[in-house]
Amino acid sequence: MRRQAKANKAGDDGMLPMINIIFLLLVFFMIAGQIVPREDNLELPASSSEADVGVGRIEVSIAADGVPHVDGEVVGGDLATYLASRLPGSSGNAAVLTCRVHRDLPASALDPVLRAARQLQITTLQIVTEWQP
């Protein structure tokens, strides 16, 4: 019995340095690691395409004030409802939606347009970022 007690005690003693190292590493990473808060104000990248994107069948433009315009008209209510009334045919699959966004707006300004495109099942969406009215 004494041999088993000594063997168990020797096995436990071998684990102590590893446990100490793990705790030291944990403390080190807690102190050295820097937690950066998530930044919700993402900036849109500038368009790098040389090709002319042209005007789609429906054009949504979002000016610096963040108000969406469809083909030059201000959208007063829900963007998806407004776009549904302007779509050719019964399905949005054949429609091409061009979204022109003012360069100073955050990426969250695209949320209503993306939700409307998903809701109407529009499969072709062109996003233009270097637009300044």
For residue 77, being part of any structural domain is answered with: yes
- Taking the model in full, what pTM does it have? 0.53
For residue 106, being part of any structural domain is answered with: yes
Separation between Cα atoms, residue 83 and residue 58, nearest integer Å: 8
Domain limits for position 113: 58-131
2 Cβ neighbours under 8 A, 6+ residues apart: none
> Taking all residues of the chain, what is their mean pLDDT, rounded to a whole number?
75
User: Measuring CA to CA, which residue among 114, 69, 119 is closest to residue 91?
Assistant: 119
For residues 30-59, give the mean pLDDT. 64
Is 101 in contact with 66 (CB distance < 8 Å)? no
For residue 83, being part of any structural domain is answered with: yes
For residue 75, being part of any structural domain is answered with: yes
For residue 18, being part of any structural domain is answered with: no
E strand or H helix that includes residue 10: helix 2-32
Total domains, the chain = 1
Separation between Cα atoms, residue 65 and residue 130, nearest integer Å: 15
pLDDT at 56: 45
Residue 83 scores a pLDDT above 80: yes
* Bridge pairing between strands 58-62 and 124-131: unpaired
CATH classification of the domain holding 94: 3.30.420
Residue 55 scores a pLDDT above 50: no
70 Cβ neighbours under 8 A, 6+ residues apart: 58, 59, 60, 79, 82, 83, 86
Determine how many CB atoms are found less than 10 A away from the CB of residue 120. 20
Please state whether 85 falls in left (phi above 0), alpha (psi between -120 and 50) or beta. alpha
